[in-house]
Amino acid sequence: MTGRTHDLAAFTALNYIIATQPLPEMSLATAFVAFSANMIGGLAPDLDQSTSSLYKRVRAGSILGRLVSPLFGGHRFISHSIVGVFLVGFILDFLLGLIGQVLLVDMNLVWWAFMIGFVSHLVMDTFTREGVPWFFPIPWHIGIPPLKALRIKTGGLFEKSLIFPGLILINGLIIYYHYDRYLEFLRYYIK
């Protein structure tokens, strides 16, 4: 999947949670930081390759990418697994705890938004040819459907012409069917 598709998939997952789950009150700052964290989480597993779109978004990103990506042990390795999800969740919890001491933002919500993005990335990658080593260190790459030839090619026509517009449609439907929730959200939750 391309970075664009991962961004949109992360947003779709977050959007679905917003529409269907009870939400706590949050400040506008929290909502903004959580939204950004969701986007970053949706791209973070691919920090294991130097060409990741997150590196492209920062200054001197290509140098950073070449330095940092080898630490992950290779592409679609530990960062694309259940062990990786727990590890990242643990480290992020610690880091947000530190940042939370200086920034007045509900870091618990930021953590959830990031993790929703992170997991959405792994789910989306499961539909691609390469599959995902969910059970790392067991080296099996799991994919849906099991037959590799039927899975999606990253950046291919199917992703661009069906998956991406399909996700936009899903977001449209989520908002359409839960429209009053969004009004409520804007009215009561964001202060």
CB of 153 to Zn ion, least distance (A): 14
Neighbours of 36 (CB within 10 A): 14
Q: Which is nearer to Zn ion, 22 or 137 (CB)?
A: 137
Exposed/middle/buried for residue 139 (C-beta within 10 Å: 0-12, 13-18, 19+): exposed
User: Which residue of 46, 84, 115, 126 would you call a contact of Zn ion, by CB under 5 A?
Assistant: 46
The answer to the question of residue 7 lying near Zn ion (CB under 5 A) is no
CB of 126 to Zn ion, least distance (A): 10
Nearest alpha-carbon partner for 143 in 122, 170, 163, 118: 122
* Coil/strand/helix, residue 190: strand
Taking CB under 5 A as the binding criterion, the range among 28-36, 83-91, 118-126, 171-179 that sits at the site for Zn ion is 118-126
Exposed/middle/buried for residue 189 (C-beta within 10 Å: 0-12, 13-18, 19+): middle
CB of 172 to Zn ion, least distance (A): 26
Per-residue binding letters, 119-158, with Zn ion (x by CB under 5 A): ------x---------------------------------
Q: Which is nearer to Zn ion, 106 or 125 (CB)?
A: 125
Neighbours of 46 (CB within 10 A): 25
Residues in contact with Zn ion by CB under 5 A are 45-46, 125
